[in-house]
């Protein structure tokens, strides 16, 4: 390993000392605990280690590893990144549209055993919206933000069948909250989690609606929510990340700790004038239906009902938020844009690696919660 490149740092040491961010050990919850995420549970601090060891196949080897980029004072605070490796180039790059950060690494053709390790720390706490207490005056996005989070993308169109479906769903709804709830309920009632979908899906919502195949995983189902919301003028966005801890509420399907290489999870937010950005996650409701023991639960099962009630307006934040990016162009890449940046990406002279196969691409993501000193 090139010792000169052994350690590169950002603001980790300084941010660890920020007041109010002392890590708290998670208090174990019994399986019978009600599913009720709340910021009152306090802040938790985590560390995610991303290790990439791609195979060299001649020519320049490149990798792009997502870094925590969302900075939301109320629920998510990045605390810096450390990295080491034997790449000839290692630097942070940022997508100019969505602010999605990534570590870019580049290995020369003669590099033996390419490797890269990134340690990212962040603090997080649960979110919960009190719908009985709207803001005294309407909250507004800037014109630029409104345009960004209502516009169409290649896989997230807002016209044609998407708009027609959204208008039908929200018929009779007069407020933005009523429209947002109607779309949430429609997605929960009409979609299905498909365990055979690779990774988190791709979010091709027009094809989903045209084929009437409303199955998939989180990047399909939650992106469907986002597209339908945008189609009726509600600013909405996907939030791409990865689960980093087990659920405190005993839900086996809604958490993952330790090796989280395949625990990526896309969530969604919708902007409501009375509350600002509101967390939603209809895909996790369908995950509870399919996966929560004993499996294949009915929509009126108590576990499903509890999750459905909370996941419009609340998240249990045992989860790292990477970014909001769509159609991300990887700097220095010779390949196509990626629909979203939620997995490590890599390419060599033969082309782009399969980011959904960590064993073949050879990367691992490992999480741990940090306890207070």
Three-class HEC string of 292-359: CCCCCCCCCCHHHHHHHHHCECEECCCEEEEECCCCECCCCCCCCCECCCCCCEEEECCEECCCCCHH
pLDDT at 203: 94
Residue 27, class by beta-carbon neighbours within 10 Å (0-12 exposed, 13-18 middle, 19+ buried)?
exposed
Alpha carbon separation from 156 to 60, 339, 340 (Å, rounded): 33, 10, 12
Domain 127-316: give its CATH code.
3.10.620.30
Q: Which pair of structure tokens corresponds to residue 70? A: 């969302």
CB atoms within 10 A of CB 55: 14
Q: Smallest Cα–Cα separation from 105: which of 68, 48, 67?
A: 67
Structure tokens at 198: 């690779």
Q: DSSP of 99-141, one letter per residue?
A: --EEEEEEE-TT-SS--EEEEEEEEE--EE--TTS--SS----
pLDDT at res. 18: 40
Nearest to 187 by CA among 272, 270, 131, 130: 270
Domain range annotation of the chain: 41-124+324-370, 127-316
Structure tokens given for 218: 């989180």
Check: CB of residue 349 under 8 Å from CB of residue 244.
no
Pairing of strands 351-352, 345-348: antiparallel
**pLDDT tens for the chain, residues 1 to 373:** 433 333 444 444 333 334 344 434 444 434 447 899 999 999 999 999 999 999 877 789 999 999 999 999 999 999 999 999 999 999 999 999 999 999 999 999 989 999 999 999 999 999 999 999 999 999 999 999 999 999 999 889 999 999 999 999 999 999 999 999 999 999 999 999 999 999 999 999 999 999 999 999 999 999 999 999 999 999 999 999 999 999 999 999 999 999 999 999 999 999 999 999 999 999 999 999 999 999 999 999 999 999 999 999 999 999 999 999 999 999 999 889 999 999 999 999 889 999 999 988 999 999 999 975 4
Helix 282-291 × helix 176-190 angle, to 10° = 30
Q: For residues 246 and 20, give the distance between their C-alpha atoms in angstroms, rounded to a whole number.
A: 23
């Amino acid at each position: 390993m090139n010792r000169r490149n052994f350690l590169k740092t950002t603001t980790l040491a300084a941010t660890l000392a920020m007041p109010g961010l002392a890590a708290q050990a998670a208090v174990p919850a019994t399986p019978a605990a009600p599913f009720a995420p709340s910021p009152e549970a306090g802040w938790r601090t985590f560390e995610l280690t991303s290790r990439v060891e791609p195979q060299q196949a001649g020519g320049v080897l490149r990798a792009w590893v997502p870094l925590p980029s969302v900075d939301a004072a109320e629920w998510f605070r990045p605390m810096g990144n450390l990295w080491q490796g034997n790449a000839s180039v290692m630097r942070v790059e940022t997508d100019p549209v969505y602010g999605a950060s990534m570590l870019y690494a580049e290995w020369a053709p003669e590099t033996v055993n390419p490797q890269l390790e990134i340690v990212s720390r962040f603090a997080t706490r649960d979110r919960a919206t009190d719908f009985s207490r709207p803001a005294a005056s309407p909250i507004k996005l800037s014109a630029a933000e409104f345009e960004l989070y209502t516009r169409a993308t290649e896989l997230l169109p807002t016209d044609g069948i998407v708009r027609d479906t959204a208008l039908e769903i929200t018929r009779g709804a007069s407020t933005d909250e009523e429209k947002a709830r109607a779309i949430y309920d429609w997605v929960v009632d009409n979609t299905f989690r498909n365990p055979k979908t690779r990774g988190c899906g791709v979010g091709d919502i027009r094809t989903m609606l045209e084929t009437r195949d409303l199955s998939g995983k989180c990047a399909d189902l939650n992106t469907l929510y986002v597209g339908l919301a945008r189609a009726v003028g509600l600013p909405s966005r996907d939030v791409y990340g990865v689960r980093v801890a087990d659920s405190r509420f005993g839900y086996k399907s809604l958490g993952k700790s330790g090796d989280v290489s395949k625990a990526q999870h896309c969530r969604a937010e919708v902007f409501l004038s009375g509350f600002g950005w509101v967390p939603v996650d209809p895909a996790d409701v369908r995950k509870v239906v399919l996966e929560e023991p004993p499996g294949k639960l009915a929509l009126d099962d108590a576990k499903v009902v509890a999750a459905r009630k909370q996941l419009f307006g609340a998240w249990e934040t045992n989860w790292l938020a990477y970014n909001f990016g769509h159609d991300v162009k990887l700097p220095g890449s010779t390949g196509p844009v990626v629909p979203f940046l939620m997995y490590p990406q890599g390419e060599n002279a033969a082309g782009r690696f399969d980011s959904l196969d960590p064993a073949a691409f050879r990367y691992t993501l490992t999480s741990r919660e940090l306890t207070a000193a």
